[in-house]
Structures are given as structure tokens and as C-alpha cells.
């Protein structure tokens, strides 16, 4: 089923926001983007005019109080369909990690996390969904992530699905695994999405980050769930580490 993203809540947690990355989100207008709600003391006039030319309204929400409750309250109040948080590179790792983990655990909306590192400017021309790493296992959270990415296929250029083996498999295990990974690839191909599948071996977060580098990803997409046998894989330390350490944007689908 097609996904509609009508309202984006954008939080530039930066010392000197430039808003360059917002240009990389304008492609979302193809699937219904009408408004961006900006966490800011004031609205950059040039940005407001530029978005207006694209048929997108820009409004601000100052709010008050601790950051995480403000984000969640604003998302609920504005009926947002997508949250974007842009984190400054100079923030202390512990503080940034705490923000990332609390957002992942508490939001019920797709959450896009971007770390300021000098590379994000490229997405204003490449497009956020041009090259997507889709981290997979066989959990419900993977299914949700897969359905979401298929739902925004109008934006997607290429998907590279990545499954990470954490223990040495038997020959029989490898055969079954290849069949299951290929099933996901076929689902994407049937949706007319160019897709390749890959199997890595090692620690889950490290291998997902490596795959993003290997395939020049513009985005890593991961499902997140708080229950089930895959808790330690995609809803615990691995999910957090990828979100905290990635040099490319990470999309978490709850």
C-alpha cells in the first residue's frame, strides 16, 4: 500500500542550522508532502519562500521543556507522519546517544536521524532514497520496514538488502538463508524496485555500516520492535549503534 508523508517534523539540533538538508527532502512531495514543521525560534524567510515555490508550507513550533517530550508532543499535536532529527557533530557522544536511544524507544512514527558530518549536503542533489540499505532478519520489524520502503517506492532508486550472520552456519543453513533473502529480493522486484541482496558475517551493526560504505548508500533503513526473539538484533544495541554511528542518514521504522 502506498505511503503518504504529508507532514514532516524537522528538528535541527545544530549550533548553526543551515537547512541545506531540507532540499534533499523535497522529493517527498511526490508522495504527498504538504508541510514541514520546523523546531526553531524563527522562520528563515528565504527557506519559507523556496519551499512555498514547491507548494510546501513551512511553519515553526518553538515549544518548551525537555527535547524528547517536546518532539513527541509536537508530532502528536501536528499529526506529523515523519520525524527528522539533525544532530550536531560537536555534541558529546553520551548526550547524542541518549537522544537517539530515547527517540527510537519512544516514537511511534518513522524516524530519520542525520548526523552532521559534512556529507549530508550531498543529499540535496542525490536524493535521500536513491540508494537504500535495508537491514533484514525474519522479524515482524523487518516486515514493517520492508512494507514501508515498498510504500515509498516512488522515491526509491536502488535497494540493497543486507542480512548479517552472527554465527557460523552449516551448508544447509546457507542454502535456506539464500532462499529467504532471495524471496525478499523478488518481492521488491515485483514492485518494480531495483534490488540486490547480500549476506554479511560478523557483528550486526558493524556489518550494516560496512555495507552502507560498500554500496555508497544514501540511507540505511531498519525496523525496530521492543519485543520478540530479535530484540537483541534490531531493537537493542545493534539498532542504537547503527543510528548513533552511521555517516549516512538512518531511517527507523517502528
Helices 237-245 and 204-214 pack at an angle, to 10 degrees, of: 40
> SS3 letters for 21-65?
HHHHHHHHHHHCCCEEEECCCCCCHHHHHHHHHCCCEEEECCCCC
165 and 236 in a single domain? The answer is: yes
Query: Distance between CA 202 and CA 8 in Å, rounded?
Result: 35
Give domain status of residue 1, yes or no: no
pLDDT at 91 over 60: no
In degrees and rounded to multiples of 5, residue 38 shows phi and psi of -105, 130
List, in order, residues 6 or more apart from 151 with CB less than 8 Å away. 1, 2, 3
Query: Distance between CA 240 and CA 104 in Å, rounded?
Result: 8
- Measured torsion, CA atoms of residues 101, 145, 115, 227, in degrees rounded to the nearest 10: 10
Give domain status of residue 40, yes or no: yes
Q: Last residue of some domain: 121, 153, 175?
A: 121
Between 49 and 150, residue with greater pLDDT: 150
Give domain status of residue 239, yes or no: yes
Give the cell for residue 177. 538463508
Q: What is the DSSP letter of 170?
A: P
User: CB 179: neighbour CB atoms within 10 A?
Assistant: 9
Q: Last residue of some domain: 57, 90, 121?
A: 121
Residues 95-136 have pLDDT tens digits of: 556 888 888 889 999 999 988 764 555 554 468 999 999 999
**Structure confidence at residue 230 (pLDDT):** 41
161 and 197 in a single domain? The answer is: yes
Give domain status of residue 2, yes or no: no
Q: Which of 153, 143, 165 is nearest to 211 (CA)?
A: 165
How large a percentage of the chain has pLDDT more than 70? Answer: 85
Could you give the number of structural domains in the chain? Answer: 2
Give domain status of residue 86, yes or no: yes
Range among 13-27, 62-76, 212-226 with highest mean pLDDT value: 212-226
45 and 107 in a single domain? The answer is: yes
232 and 160 in a single domain? The answer is: yes
Give the cell for residue 27. 522529493
Residue appearing with cell numbers 549536503: 121
pLDDT at 10 over 60: yes
Residue appearing with cell numbers 513551512: 58
Give domain status of residue 209, yes or no: yes
Domain that holds residue 61: 7-121
Residue appearing with cell numbers 516514537: 107
Taking the chain, what is the end-to-end CA distance rounded to the nearest angstrom? Answer: 17
List, in order, residues 6 or more apart from 140 with CB less than 8 Å away. 223, 225, 228
| CATH code at position 186 | 3.40.50.620
133 and 107 in a single domain? The answer is: no
143 and 106 in a single domain? The answer is: no
Least confident of 19-28, 191-200, 245-254: 19-28
142 and 236 in a single domain? The answer is: yes
194 and 223 in a single domain? The answer is: yes
Query: Distance between CA 158 and CA 174 in Å, rounded?
Result: 25
How large a percentage of the chain has pLDDT more than 90? Answer: 48
**Structure confidence at residue 160 (pLDDT):** 98
pLDDT at 35 over 90: yes
Q: Biggest alpha carbon distance in the chain?
A: 61
96 and 134 in a single domain? The answer is: no
Burial of 214 (0-12, 13-18, 19+ CB in 10 A): middle
Q: Last residue of some domain: 57, 86, 121?
A: 121
Query: Distance between CA 139 and CA 238 in Å, rounded?
Result: 14
85 and 157 in a single domain? The answer is: no
Q: What is the DSSP letter of 121?
A: G
42 and 14 in a single domain? The answer is: yes
60 and 143 in a single domain? The answer is: no
Give domain status of residue 222, yes or no: yes
**Structure confidence at residue 64 (pLDDT):** 74
Give domain status of residue 76, yes or no: yes
Q: Is residue 129 within 8 Å of residue 152, measured between CB atoms?
A: yes
Amino acid at each position: 500500500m502506498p505511503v503518504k508523508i504529508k507532514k514532516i517534523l524537522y528538528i535541527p539540533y545544530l549550533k548553526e542550522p543551515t537547512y541545506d538538508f531540507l532540499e534533499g527532502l523535497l522529493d517527498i512531495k511526490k508522495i504527498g508532502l504538504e508541510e514541514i514543521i520546523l523546531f526553531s525560534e524563527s522562520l528563515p524567510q528565504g527557506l519559507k519562500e523556496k519551499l512555498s515555490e514547491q507548494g510546501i508550507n513551512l511553519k515553526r513550533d518553538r515549544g518548551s521543556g525537555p527535547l524528547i517530550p517536546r518532539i513527541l508532543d509536537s508530532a502528536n499535536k501536528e499529526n506529523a507522519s515523519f520525524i527528522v532529527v539533525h544532530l550536531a557533530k560537536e555534541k558529546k557522544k553520551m548526550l547524542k546517544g541518549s537522544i537517539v536511544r530515547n527517540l527510537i524507544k519512544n516514537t511511534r512514527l518513522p524516524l530519520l536521524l542525520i548526523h552532521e558530518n559534512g556529507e549530508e549536503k550531498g543529499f540535496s542533489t542525490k536524493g535521500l532514497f536513491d540508494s537504500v540499505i535495508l537491514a533484514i532478519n525474519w522479524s515482524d520489524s523487518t516486515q514493517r520496514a520492508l512494507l514501508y520502503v515498498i510504500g515509498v517506492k516512488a522515491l526509491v532508486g536502488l535497494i540493497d538488502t543486507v542480512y548479517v550472520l552472527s554465527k557460523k552456519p552449516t551448508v544447509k543453513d546457507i542454502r535456506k538463508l539464500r532462499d529467504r533473502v532471495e524471496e525478499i529480493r523478488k518481492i521488491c522486484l515485483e514492485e518494480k524496485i531495483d534490488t540486490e541482496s547480500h549476506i554479511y558475517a560478523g557483528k550486526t551493526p558493524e556489518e550494516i555500516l560496512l555495507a552502507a560504505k560498500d554500496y555508497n548508500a544514501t540511507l540505511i533503513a531498519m525496523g525496530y520492535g521492543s519485543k520478540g526473539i530479535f530484540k537483541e538484533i534490531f531493537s537493542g544495541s545493534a539498532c542504537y549503534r547503527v543510528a548513533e554511528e552511521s555517516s549516512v542518514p538512518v531511517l527507523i521504522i517502528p
